[in-house]
Amino acid sequence: MAIEVCSNCFSPRIAPYMGYETGKRFICQDCDVTIEFQNIEALVAFLQERRDAS
């Protein structure tokens, strides 16, 4: 199961963009960019790397 989050704010509050009429695109309820992670471990690793880089 893939976990999709906004790549701008990392919020999981996303919805299908135009009801899937444009393919598998999602829109954040606060932003307009999303990124897909294959699983929760990939998301956690990404967030830890981001935290450690700052």
Return averaged pLDDT per consecutive 10 residues of the chain, 54 residues in all.
Answer: 78 78 74 75 82 76
Round the CA-based radius of gyration of the chain to a whole number and report it: 12
Give the model's pLDDT for residue 11.
87
pLDDT at residue 21, rounded to an integer: 65
Residue with tokens 């009801």: 19
d(CA 51, CA 14): 22
Instruction: Identify the domain containing residue 45 by its residue range.
Output: 3-53
pTM: 0.53
Number of domains present in the structure of the chain: 1
Residue 11 is classified by DSSP as -
Eight-state DSSP code of residue 8? T
